[in-house]
A = this chain, B = another copy of it.
Amino acid sequence: MQKASLVQALQQVSKAVSVSSPIPVLAGIYVEVTKDEVVFMGSDASLTIKVTLNEAAHGLRIHRTGRIVVPARYLNEIVRKLSADVITFDMDEPLMLRITAADSQARLCGMDPEEFPSMDDIEPRPLIKFRIHTGLLKASIAQVAASAAISDMRPVLTGVSFDYSHQSLKLMASDGIRLASSTIFTGTNSGPAAQIVIPARNLGELSKLLKHDHDETEIEIRHNRVRFTAHELQVESALIDGAFPSLSHVIPDAYASELLVERTRLLRAAECVSVLAGDRIIKLDATEGSLALSSRTAEIGEVHDRVPLRKMKGKAFRISVNGKFLMDMLRGMDGEFVRLRFVGRTSPLVLLPEDETSPTLFLITPIRTNDG
């Protein structure tokens, strides 16, 4: 097979391989040659990635079928270092993969493919199956996943809630300090509704693997897992048990002031003042005409920056927030402008896209400081 196709497939499935896994077979890549396909698979038990290369589409030449699991680290390195363009895999000895390319030849000891987690269906039919625009799915994941919790004090908060109803898929994540929510309209359908929670880390890997933004991704929800299929790629994730908290009551429905500012300009100012933000606290000070950002670190110094306001409704205000969280949100958003809604000194600051019909929303809880 062509080195380029092989390197790409191995790179993709390796995202799910945990080299230091206590289960030896999970430090490997599963390779299966069937009559007309070569399948590669990597898994860390929570996330499984499968790439299927078709004989005709990839100009493969299959002589014999077989399957094996080989250590991911060595397989990747050897394939990358081979200088020929065409690479041959042979499984003529049991539990041994022979790799040949021009003058080079390697033999890698393998592991039993029976021990590798299977992606075959135990349940004959998924509970729910629908298709979604890949570009919109990636954008929503980028907006929402960063707001999930890192620590697993409450495991359900390390995930992103997928709330699928008859017309839409709503993604939501919150770590208790910030919240992000985005909705994709899927068109009406008559199937059942469902809410699941997917580990944010797995969605992040999925998002990086999805390439064809203008195509659709198929989503299949099963009892304890979800599967995404796009072209040659299948990504399956375990689900997080437990109910995702209902958070609609924390979203303010009124506000005291609203600003419109250039998104990248605000992001750059936040990056600049964050350099000296002790405990990550940055202060926002909205007055007529401009939004001032500032931070200080005791005994080191302070930074001030200023962003012009495009529009302002309501009164001047002052609020302190976690600078990293603010930057994460601004980076996840698209569009030239962003709206900031101030509700009150102790209420979350709301970030919204300029487009008032956009179903995307971010909340960030303020930090109380002594000096106001």
On A, residues with C-beta under 8 Å from B are 71, 74, 77-78, 81-83, 96, 103-109, 268-269, 271-272, 275-276, 299-307
Given the known inter-chain contacts A103-B306, A306-B103, please indicate yes or no for A301 contacting B74, CB distance below 8 A. Answer: yes
Asked if A272 and B305 make an inter-chain contact with CB atoms under 8 angstroms apart, the answer reads no
Closest to A82 in B: B272
Q: Are B108 and A74 in contact (CB under 8 A)?
A: no
In the complex, A83 Cα to B302 Cα: how many Å? 17
The smallest C-beta distance from A171 to any residue of chain B, in angstroms, reads 31
Q: Which residues of B sit under 8 angstroms from A96, Cβ to Cβ?
A: 301
A366 to chain B, nearest CB (A): 23
Is B303's CB under 8 angstroms from A105's CB?
yes
Give the copy number.
2
Is B109 within 8 A of A300, CB to CB? yes
A82 to B306 alpha-carbon distance, docked (Å) = 12
If A104-B303, A305-B103 touch, whether A78 touches B275 (CB-CB below 8 Å) is yes
| A108 contacts across to B, CB distance below 8 A | 300-301
Q: A300 contacts which of B74, B83, B276, B306 (Cβ < 8 Å)? A: B74
Q: Determine which of B83, B275, B302, B306 lies in contact with A77 in the assembled complex, contact meaning CB atoms within 8 Å.
A: B275
- Rounded to whole angstroms, the CA-CA distance of A271 and B79 in the bound complex is 12
Instruction: Check A106 against B268 for contact (C-beta < 8 Å).
Output: no
Contact in complex: B272, A107 (CB < 8 Å): no
Do B78 and A276 have beta carbons less than 8 Å apart?
yes
* A81, A83, A96, A108 pick with most chain B CB within 10 angstroms: A81
Given known A77-B275, A275-B78, A306-B104, contact A268–B109 (CB-CB < 8 A) = no
> Inside 8 A of A303's CB, which chain B residues have their CB?
78, 104-107
Give Cα distance in the complex from A300 to B108, angstroms: 6
Most B Cβ at <10 Å: residue of A82, A300, A301: A301
Task: Report the separation of the CA atoms of residues A104 and B300 in the bound assembly, to the nearest whole angstrom.
Answer: 17
The reply to whether A109 and B301 form a contact with Cβ atoms under 8 Å apart is yes
Residues on B with C-beta less than 8 A from A106 are: 275-276, 301-304
Looking at A71, A77, A299, the one whose CB has the most chain B CB atoms below 10 A away is: A77
- Chain B contacts for A300, CB-based, 8 A: 71, 74, 108-109
- The 4 A-B residue pairs with the shortest CB-CB distance, nearest first, are A103-B306, A108-B301, A106-B303, A81-B272
Residues of chain B contacted by A103 (CB below 8 angstroms): 269, 305-307
User: Nearest chain-B residue to A271 (Cβ)?
Assistant: B81
A71-B300, A108-B300, A300-B71 known; A275+B306 contact, CB < 8 A: no
Supply 24 A–B pairs (Cβ within 8 Å), ascending by A: A71-B300, A74-B275, A78-B272, A78-B275, A78-B276, A81-B268, A81-B271, A81-B275, A82-B272, A96-B301, A103-B269, A103-B307, A104-B303, A104-B305, A104-B306, A105-B305, A106-B275, A106-B276, A106-B302, A107-B302, A107-B303, A109-B299, A109-B300, A109-B301
Contact B275 A83 (CB under 8 A): no
Q: How far is the CA of A302 from the CA of B98 in the complex (A)?
A: 10
Cβ of A98 to closest chain B Cβ, rounded Å: 9
Taking A74-B301, A105-B305, A106-B275 as given, write out 12 further A-B residue pairs in contact, using a Cβ cutoff of 8 Å, ordered by the A residue number: A74-B300, A78-B276, A78-B303, A81-B271, A81-B272, A81-B275, A82-B272, A103-B307, A106-B301, A106-B302, A109-B299, A109-B301
Q: Specify which chain B residues have a CB less than 8 angstroms from the CB of A74 in the assembled complex.
A: 275-276, 300-301
